[in-house]
Chains A and B, each alone.
Chain A
Amino acid sequence: MTKTTQTGSDVIVIGAGLAGLTAAVHAVQTGATVRLIAQGWGQQIVTPGWISVCDRAKDDVIAELRGYAALHPAHPYALAGDEGMIDCLERFRAITKAIGVPYGACVKAGHNLRLTTLLGAIQTPLLAPASMVSGDLTGVTGEILLVSFTGWRDFYPALAASNLAKQGITARAVLVDAPGAPQAWDLWPVELARRFDDPALRQRVIDQLRPHVQNAAKIGFPAVVGLEQHVEALADCTQQLERPCFEIATLPPSVPGTRLSNRLRRWLLRQRARVQIGHPVVHGIVENRRCVGVDVGALGHTNPFYADQFILATGGLYNGGIQSDESGRLWEPIFDLPVKGPGGTGREKWYHANLLVHRGHAVHRHTGLRVNTRMQPLDADGAPVLDNVYAAGHLLTGFNPLTDGCAEGIALATALKAVQVALALEAQKSY
């Protein structure tokens, strides 16, 4: 239970993305007092909300990942250890179930899901919100009905249907009036989701859909079916339309990501953890290779917060955890930890003749913090820089979040490992 002492809390987690939030959850579950500090919400609000672990795996995902980690010892998966991978996924499923945003997996155990996007492309995460899992295309034979709202700019289901057809999946498009809004053009997913919370508004959508269901095997909605009452909202659609209804990830803001963030925050607050979103940690207070506290940039004056252990989960180059300037310099703004980059002088290695280069641009693959198996950031000689600061998530080097299809898996695995080491839960193990 969190309480202040002269020295502060047991753990300060910096960052409110998937790594930061789950690190805070793990730490609270072990009984630690936790303070989470972040400049803003993390990227789960602009991403689909599913968990990519190893998107390219054709069959057993964990086996593929083990093989990959064995060949790439500097990859974050290899550093975090593969036994932690299964553990972190199970823990994630348990906490999301407990807070009412359950996540599910493919019926073929250990396999990736096959989920359509709004364009009709197929994405293959390992876990997804249960509302998306019911749209898994694995082994689907019947016709899929894709639903959008007349005039809404974010989803053209006919386009998705024609793209799915090219991949051998039969799909049909239908447009209905958006719930409670004559003008759907400018509606945000979150706004639509709130309307789906309202049973009366939801009913109008269901009633319009009934004549279009026909032979459809499944019905796909954009992921706006409820915000607070989303489990009830989707169950209502499924029950009344007598077909499995599912959600398809939308453009930002992501309703599934918002649901997850909101519920995790509520859970953390109810456990009496502190959740401070809005002001950046500007500086680490370091004494003899130990971090004793962090200064938060605030109105009027900075505010210090003290703790015994620190989990740094501030994100990578795109998320503010690593900064750059026009000279090509890369730096970590809180502790000035050594940042590995693509090399070269200036930014010449950041670019490529092709926009979509296979395996991604070097700046994405290489930029980040090097850590050891204890998730401690390392200096040029491979020694830990600070004794009680652990890094997790996008901040790490050795993988390409844009092309490897493992961003969320790395966030979960490294966050769990960081907390276990920070709270000495693995004391018996050797490193």
Chain B
Amino acid sequence: MTDNAQHLIDLTAFTADHCLKCNICTAACPVASITPLFPGPKTVGPQAQRMRLPGAPSPDHSIDYCSGCGICTLVCPHGVRVMEINTQAKAQMTATHGISLRNWFLSRNERWGRLGTPFAPLINFGLRLWLARWFAEKAVKISARAPLPRWAGYTFRGWWKKQVRQHPRPAPASDAQRVVYFHGCSTNTYEPHIGKLAVAVLEHLGLYVEIPPQTCCGLPAQSNGDFKAARRYARKNIAFLVDYARRGIPIVGTSASCMTAIKGDYQHVLGLDDPDAQLVAEHTYDFMEFLAKLHREGKLPTDFHPIERELPYHAPCQLKAHGMGRPALDVLDLIPGLRCWEIDADCCGIAGTYGFKAEKRAIAETVGKPIAEQVEAASAEVVVCDTETCRWQITSLTNATTIHPVELVAQAYGLTVDRYTPPVTARQM
């Protein structure tokens, strides 16, 4: 087969030709089996794909009920990129009919995070008012039950700038000691402690952390079908990161879903199939994946303080899409006393912005039920999870405290940061 023909077959839309209609994806879809509004990934994906012409209106509007969790792509034994096909069809629908005000709003979380920071106390107070949430549900169709983050009141980037100013660091001898940290929007404005802990761990490993300018990964816009905005975000990030990738400097991020976008979606969903996008993808790692890689190479110190706990772990659907296994579990297994086990669940239901939408909230809650049941059965008070919206969703479904695995790693290394109380503590030796 010529390279050209192979390239054509590898294109997302053409993977539909590998579909045998076996329905394994239908059996696995967490949404289709609980709502008649979504006929299932095969029906709206590879099956409807045969009716779709590039640029022509999409024939099936039920695709709006696809959460984009991507379980269909994972369970397909034939390599059909079902979720990617569906997301592209969703974009076609948005391009034809326009984007709703609510979806536009959810797609630009980066902006609200930034603009809201100075008014954090006011917003945090306002958003906890029943009346405000009721109004938001009625007026903009954002569910009153959806788990909203709290604004931290300061940004991670602001903290970092001050940090660098106050503690100038000697430049490293070689690029091999450098690492780029991609914090994502949530860490920047809602959960800066995760970024601070990530930096602390990377520096503890003797690495020189660089935090170049960056913007939203584009995933919220992408999953709402706004490919124009998503590509704009993607191109900006590629431009910010490509020089580091060219120098072989790893780019690591603590939000597993942002990293999915940079590693895979830019090419397979948004179609940015240029050498720069590929180069950035090749050098991008999920934070825990990066630690697991260092460990494989014998470069991860394992002088961890013991953490005597048994904790459930949820692997977000977007983390599963990486194909990197469960690096968080592999690394956390190195901490003495700590026994983490994976909750058996495809998706927590939130799927980025899906579970925030009023008409989809009940679906999102039902999808997440197996997590709540298993956490409850284990009487667990803390759940470990690598992605922010999943953590918020799990907290809302279970009342458990949810933490990023970096919080455990930092604890076990004995690292602390300001304005942060560790929910799980290590035994000091």
Residues of A near any B CB (own CB < 8 A): 2-4, 6, 35, 37-43, 45-46, 181, 183, 186, 188-191, 193-194, 227, 252-255, 258, 262, 265-266, 269-270, 272, 274-280, 296-301, 303-306, 315, 319-320, 325
Contact = CB atoms under 8 A, between A and B. Distances in A.
Contacts of A189: 27
Contacts of A299: 260, 263-264, 281, 321-323
Max count, chain B CB within 10 A of own CB: residue among A45, A186, A266: A45
A252 B343 CA distance: 27
Interface stretch (B207-215, B325-333, B416-424): B325-333
Nearest to B73: A278
Nearest to B325: A276
A269 B298 CA distance: 27
B292 A298 contact: no
Interface in B348-395: none
Contact of B75 (A190, A277, A280, A319): A277
B334 interface: yes
Given A252-B22, A253-B26, A40 B75 contact: yes
Contacts of B74: 40, 277-279
B325 A272 contact: no
Contact of A4 (B34, B39, B281, B330): B330
B275 interface: no
B260 A181 contact: no
B406 to A, nearest CB: 17
B33 A190 contact: yes
Nearest to A181: B36
B70 to A, nearest CB: 8
B40 interface: yes
B282 interface: yes
A188 B23 contact: yes
A255 B33 CA distance: 12
Nearest to B28: A41
B303 interface: no
B61 interface: no
A164 to B, nearest CB: 27
Nearest to B320: A278
Interface in B115-157: none
Contact of B325 (A39, A270, A303): A303
A272 B79 CA distance: 27
A250 B276 CA distance: 48
Contacts of B22: 45-46, 252-253
A278 B77 contact: no
Given A188-B23, A300-B282, A6 B75 contact: no
A258 B71 CA distance: 14
Contacts of A194: 33-34
Contacts of A193: 33
A6 B298 contact: yes
Nearest to A306: B296
A203 B144 CA distance: 33
Nearest to B340: A272
B27 A188 contact: yes
Contacts of A39: 76-77, 79
B308 interface: no
15 contacts: A3-B333, A3-B334, A4-B333, A4-B334, A41-B75, A46-B22, A190-B26, A191-B32, A193-B33, A227-B33, A253-B27, A269-B342, A298-B322, A303-B323, A320-B78
| Nearest 3 CB-CB pairings of A with B | A298-B323, A278-B74, A279-B323
B114 interface: no
Given A278-B73, A279-B323, 8 more contacts: A35-B325, A252-B24, A253-B23, A272-B341, A280-B79, A300-B263, A300-B281, A319-B77
A105 to B, nearest CB: 26
Contact of B282 (A186, A276, A301, A320): A301
Interface string B285-307: 00001001001101000000000
B344 A269 contact: yes
B40 A188 contact: yes
Contacts of B289: 303
Nearest to B333: A3
B402 interface: no
A285 to B, nearest CB: 12
A258 B346 CA distance: 14
B339 interface: yes
A46 B23 contact: yes
Nearest to A186: B39
B9 interface: no
A301 B264 CA distance: 10
Contacts of A40: 24, 74-78
A274 B326 contact: yes
A430 to B, nearest CB: 38
Given A46-B23, A190-B33, A299-B321, A278 B341 contact: no
Nearest to B71: A278
Contacts of B325: 35, 37, 274, 276, 296, 303, 305
Contacts of B344: 262, 265-266, 269-270
Contacts of B298: 6
B324 interface: yes
A188 B40 CA distance: 9
A42 to B, nearest CB: 7
Contact of A46 (B24, B282, B283): B24
